[in-house]
């Protein structure tokens, strides 16, 4: 990939760059959609549940073993099911909190299926790098985490 990038930016004209990119992509072998259908369907179910669906519910829904589902999911997404679900859940609860800034952290945790405070805090820290209190005290998390130089 690095050699392709160097070659791309060594071209003299934009037209030559376009030709190089088209050639590169025409040589790529795309995976068969059936090879990632299970993972794609699992992603859709996880997103539609805001990350609150359990691995057992996914296994029951798709009628495959936990190992097969996790293996195919990881192969397609580079995440395991629990990790991906947690990230989707944290994203959803951040969006929910943005829409309802007066909801307490306890109510927010319960709304997204957390029944112990430590699990809620641990997931927020894992996804954002900061505690829930710090995260939700920021007016713009992304802007405050990555300020412009």
Number of H helices, E strands in the chain: 10, 0
Structure tokens of 117?
Answer: 């405070």
Domain boundaries defined on the chain = 1-30, 33-80, 84-145
Render pLDDT for 96-105 as a digit per residue (tens, 0 to 9): 998 898 999 9
What is the pTM for the complete model shown? 0.70
| Closest listed residue to residue 62, CA positions, set 87, 37, 80 | 37
Render pLDDT for 12-65 as a digit per residue (tens, 0 to 9): 788 888 888 888 878 877 666 666 899 999 999 999 999 999 999 999 999 999
């Amino acid at each position: 990939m690095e050699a392709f990038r160097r070659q791309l930016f060594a071209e003299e004209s934009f037209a030559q760059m376009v030709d190089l990119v088209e050639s590169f992509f025409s040589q790529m072998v795309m995976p068969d959609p059936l090879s990632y259908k299970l993972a794609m369907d699992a992603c859709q179910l996880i997103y539609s549940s805001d990350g609150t669906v359990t691995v057992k519910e996914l296994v029951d829904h798709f009628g495959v073993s936990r190992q097969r589902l996790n293996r195919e999911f990881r192969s397609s997404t580079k995440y395991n099911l629990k990790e991906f679900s947690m990230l989707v859940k944290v994203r959803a609860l951040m969006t929910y909190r943005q829409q309802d800034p007066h909801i307490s952290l306890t109510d927010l945790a319960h709304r997204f299926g957390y029944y112990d405070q430590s699990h809620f805090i641990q997931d927020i820290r894992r996804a954002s790098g900061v505690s829930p209190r710090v995260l939700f005290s920021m007016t713009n998390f992304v802007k405050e985490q990555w300020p412009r130089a």
